[in-house]
Structure 1
Amino acid sequence: MKTRYSQIALLALLSCAKPQSPEEIFAEAKKKMKEAERVQLRMDMVWENPEMGEFETIGYSADFRKNPEAFFGYDFHGKRVGAGSESAYVQGVEYQINHRDSTVRTEDVLDSSMVQHSMLRTFNPLVLLEKEPWSYLGDTSIQEKQLLEYSWVEMDTVIDGREVYLENHLWINPANLLPAFYSRRLFHDGKRNQFIECSYDGWKLEDSAEPFVVDFPKGYLTKVAGNTESPLLKVGIQAPDFELEDGHGNPVRLSDYRGKKVLLDFSIINCGWCKIALEQFAKPDYEFADDIVPLYINPSDSKERMEKYQLKIKIPFPVLADAEQVGKDYGVNGFPTFYLIDETGKIEEVTQGYSDETILQWKKKSE
């Protein structure tokens, strides 16, 4: 239920306190967060997958401690509720702890994009409050709490003829100057695409904090990234052969395509840029060059999920799911990742991420 900000001002006047403007309240909330040496909270997220008609719920208990030398000013530790896993970023090193197989994966990531895009970092208020510019929208009553709503437009652009609009909403409780809710809203051509909602509670702010001490359970096997996991393969080397089944149960081997170039599109379902790339490939006027055979390889999702996904998203070439080992063999650590294999089976090109230019270079040239 929407109310008027004047009501807040009236209540403040009646209590003989000078009313603060919404902008002043936001500044005070930001100041309060920045002055704390340690911030602990619970983050509960609802992650929408619009293509599958599904919602994933994710809960984290998070602990952030100031460290001026850290990637964004904080070391942090997060425990995912019910998932048997933890993650930490301490003194420039990332740790991924898996209690199910008793392993700890470490990587020196002083400026890692993985840390930059970590959910613990991206969706926590310490980062969100620093974004500019937030604008006051109005006040709202949620669960008997009066909250002030602010918005920030992160993206308003056109990508390959599609209008992409991404806005963020943050609700702050003026009673304690702490964020309560967050909403990340993505629209394509004015239509809802994906919403991600996050609620915050269990706040604990402290003016002092001991540095994190990395202490993992005894008997856990430590895996050092780069030593036990292959990086992306280099141009010029022989591409690892593989055999997978397509959606019809037919075997597909990379070595069967000698004499032609093969484009390996490593993608997963819950990846917006992967979907955009598929939409480009599926356009009526898009045709691969005569000497290129495209293959879609999914190292993460099952065949059953891919079948459901393909009912909504057209993939105009063979789909190979349950390909976890192939993803590891090719060192795939982000999506989409494209490998172009030449006629002799050697790697000709490696590309990570989406761009219009990359997609067009594999298109058949107009005569």
Structure 2
Amino acid sequence: MKVFYILGMVFLLFSCSAPQSPEEIFAAARQNLKSSGQVQFRQEMVWESPSLEEFDTIRYTIDFRKNPKAFFGYDFVGSRDGFESRYVEGIEYGIDHQDSTVKTADVLDSTRIQYSMLRTFNPLVLFENDPWKYIGDTTIQQQKLLQYMWVEMDTVIMDKKVYLENHLWINPANLLPEFYSRRLYHDGQRNQLIESTYEDWVLEEKAEPFVLDFPKGYLTKVEGSTESPLLKVGTQAPDFELEDANGNLVKLSDFRGKKVLLDFSIINCGWCKIALEQFAKEDYKFADDIVPLYVNPEDSWEKLKKYQSRVTVPFPILADAKEVGKEYGVNGFPTFYLIDETGKIEEVAQGYSDEKILEWKRKSE
């Protein structure tokens, strides 16, 4: 692994005040990154899609530079094959080299950037979580690494125990993270695994601001300019016609006289899956006047059929729904629309909620 140092603080490794205990090493590693004006590294992520029993690999080269005006103190650029993500001076840019476009969004006053994959899984942010606890060490290729763990979630949702733990391995020789593992469990069984390696570190004491130089001839699109926000309660729900898994046409307006619950979901969404598991329970029945429909704006029928063989979707599946998702302003998953008997929107709910799941359930006799 290549490691580059341009920081005077490396003297800690050789001085009499060099960190000795696991807790001191963790604190020194955190300070090592936090005090740097520029932090660059290469990251390889392995992302499990448990419902499909598949793993995706994503490789990024990432450059963080301190900026007190930025959302969390840094501007950053991340590059992978054919695509770049940039967050500079409060503006997010997505540069797609395949279709020669630049998408922009003003996220200075938004929490959206908070959930960027580049931000969430990088050590600068991981170090800020507490409490990390030392749990042991290991040796990889004759190099000793110290392992620390942070429990992010330990709760019960409905009757499902959800447990999420994070592991970070630090090299005490250079005070740099080398490996990260995020493990999600449902009822004691692993539900999803995300792992990252970090290498080719470059730390600079000071950093020059990013210079925005976009490729010539690329079309710039302002994100949101062609997409509607979530529809409001009381408005007429846009009608649509989609095929179900059996090739039958399902038209929204055919359900007039009953309420329709549109469950906008995608495969790689943990809370979407939890909602489906609640709906699929033997003791869960929708209220008599509610017709539920699963609407997927993102995934192909090929993936959905594979998904359906592993995850129970207890009501009709409608795919190829990208345009429907746009019409309804869906920008996150799960999103639920409850449409009344006249075709007007009665309720809009984003994200998973125990209370909403119970609201739509048939009341006991």
- Where on the TM-score scale, by shorter chain, does this alignment land: which range? over 0.9
Instruction: Give the C-alpha shift of residue 143 in structure 1.
Output: 2.7
Using the alignment, how far apart are the partners of 2:187 and 2:287 within structure 1? 30
**Counterpart mapping for 1:255-266 below 5 A:** 255-266=253-264
Residue 238 of structure 1 is matched in structure 2 by 236
State which drifts further: 225-234 or 197-206: 225-234
Residue identity in the other structure for 2:202 = K
Residue 178 of structure 1 is matched in structure 2 by 176
Instruction: Give the C-alpha shift of residue 32 in structure 1.
Output: 0.8
Instruction: Give the C-alpha shift of residue 19 in structure 1.
Output: 6.4
Residue 38 of structure 1 is matched in structure 2 by 38
Structure 1 143/323 Cα, relative in aligned 2: closer, same or farther at 3 Å? farther
SS in 2 for 1:249: coil
**Counterpart mapping for 1:1-367 below 5 A:** 20-80=20-80, 82=81, 84-367=82-365
Instruction: Give the C-alpha shift of residue 229 in structure 1.
Output: 1.6
Using the alignment, how far apart are the partners of 1:115 and 1:357 within structure 2? 28
Using the alignment, how far apart are the partners of 2:142 and 2:241 within structure 1? 58
SS in 2 for 1:40: strand
Structure 1 218/19 Cα, relative in aligned 2: closer, same or farther at 3 Å? closer
CA distances 1:185-213 after superposition (whole Å, capped 9, x unpaired): 11111121111100000110111111122
Residue identity in the other structure for 1:350 = V
CA distances 1:34-66 after superposition (whole Å, capped 9, x unpaired): 111011111100001112110011111111010
CA distances 1:240-284 after superposition (whole Å, capped 9, x unpaired): 111111000001111111121111100001111000100111111
SS in 1 for 2:98: coil
Using the alignment, how far apart are the partners of 1:184 and 1:234 within structure 2? 37
Using the alignment, how far apart are the partners of 1:123 and 1:204 within structure 2? 18
TM (norm. structure 2) is: 0.93
Instruction: Give the C-alpha shift of residue 174 in structure 1.
Output: 0.8
Q: Percent identity?
A: 73
Structure 1 144/112 Cα, relative in aligned 2: closer, same or farther at 3 Å? farther
TM (norm. structure 1) is: 0.93
SS in 2 for 1:31: helix
Instruction: Give the C-alpha shift of residue 348 in structure 1.
Output: 1.4
Using the alignment, how far apart are the partners of 1:274 and 1:152 within structure 2? 25
State which drifts further: 100-109 or 307-316: 100-109
Structure 1 70/305 Cα, relative in aligned 2: closer, same or farther at 3 Å? same
Using the alignment, how far apart are the partners of 1:90 and 1:294 within structure 2? 42
Gaps of 5+ in 1: 1-14
Structure 1 220/125 Cα, relative in aligned 2: closer, same or farther at 3 Å? same
Gaps of 5+ in 2: 1-14
Residue 8 of structure 1 is matched in structure 2 by none
Instruction: Give the C-alpha shift of residue 18 in structure 1.
Output: 6.3
Structure 1 32/16 Cα, relative in aligned 2: closer, same or farther at 3 Å? closer
State which drifts further: 64-73 or 103-112: 103-112
Instruction: Give the C-alpha shift of residue 339 in structure 1.
Output: 0.8
Structure 1 227/19 Cα, relative in aligned 2: closer, same or farther at 3 Å? closer
Structure 1 259/17 Cα, relative in aligned 2: closer, same or farther at 3 Å? closer
Using the alignment, how far apart are the partners of 1:48 and 1:56 within structure 2? 6
Residue identity in the other structure for 1:260 = K
Residue identity in the other structure for 1:135 = K
Structure 1 19/118 Cα, relative in aligned 2: closer, same or farther at 3 Å? closer
Using the alignment, how far apart are the partners of 1:101 and 1:17 within structure 2? 54
Using the alignment, how far apart are the partners of 1:290 and 1:198 within structure 2? 47
Residue identity in the other structure for 1:204 = V
Using the alignment, how far apart are the partners of 2:358 and 2:103 within structure 1? 37
SS in 1 for 2:161: strand
Using the alignment, how far apart are the partners of 2:362 and 2:288 within structure 1? 7
Instruction: Give the C-alpha shift of residue 17 in structure 1.
Output: 8.5
Residue 4 of structure 2 is matched in structure 1 by none
Residue 11 of structure 1 is matched in structure 2 by none
2:19 touches 2:25 (CA, 8 Å); kept in 1? no
Using the alignment, how far apart are the partners of 1:16 and 1:28 within structure 2? 14
